[in-house]
Amino acid sequence: MTGGLVQEFSHTILPSVPPIATLITTALSIVPGLVVLWRSPHSPWQFIRALVLCGFGSFMFGWHVHEKAILMVLLPLGCVCALSTYYFVF
């Protein structure tokens, strides 16, 4: 067991990604979901859609993402799929 130790490595082939780059890409990935939510703030469906999009953006572009972080996307999306057949296509 590692006991929670986290180390940083320098890659030899792949470029090292700085944390500021992941912050910028994460922020840019969640902007479309927030814009849609801003335009129709009283719709609960839009809130759940924005929640799924923001969670997926942070999962895809986050600096240190644990594999359990995908639950932030799958749980609200599963609830939406249970209520509406529209989302089964995607």
Long-range interactions of 36-39: CB distance < 8 A, separation 24+: none
Residue 58 lies in a domain: yes
Contact 59, 83 (CB under 8 A): no
Residue 32 lies in a domain: yes
Q: Which domain holds residue 33?
A: 19-88
Q: Report pLDDT for 60.
A: 93
Domains in the chain, number: 1
Q: What's the CA gap between 4 and 29, in Å, rounded?
A: 29
Residue 11 lies in a domain: no
Q: Report pLDDT for 26.
A: 94
Residue 24 lies in a domain: yes
Contact 57, 26 (CB under 8 A): yes
Q: Report pLDDT for 65.
A: 82
Which of the residues in the chain have pLDDT under 70?
1-6, 8, 87-90
Residue 5 lies in a domain: no
pTM here is: 0.74
Q: Report pLDDT for 2.
A: 55
Q: Which two tokens stand for residue 64?
A: 């240190």
Q: Report pLDDT for 24.
A: 96
Residue 64 lies in a domain: yes
Q: Report pLDDT for 57.
A: 93
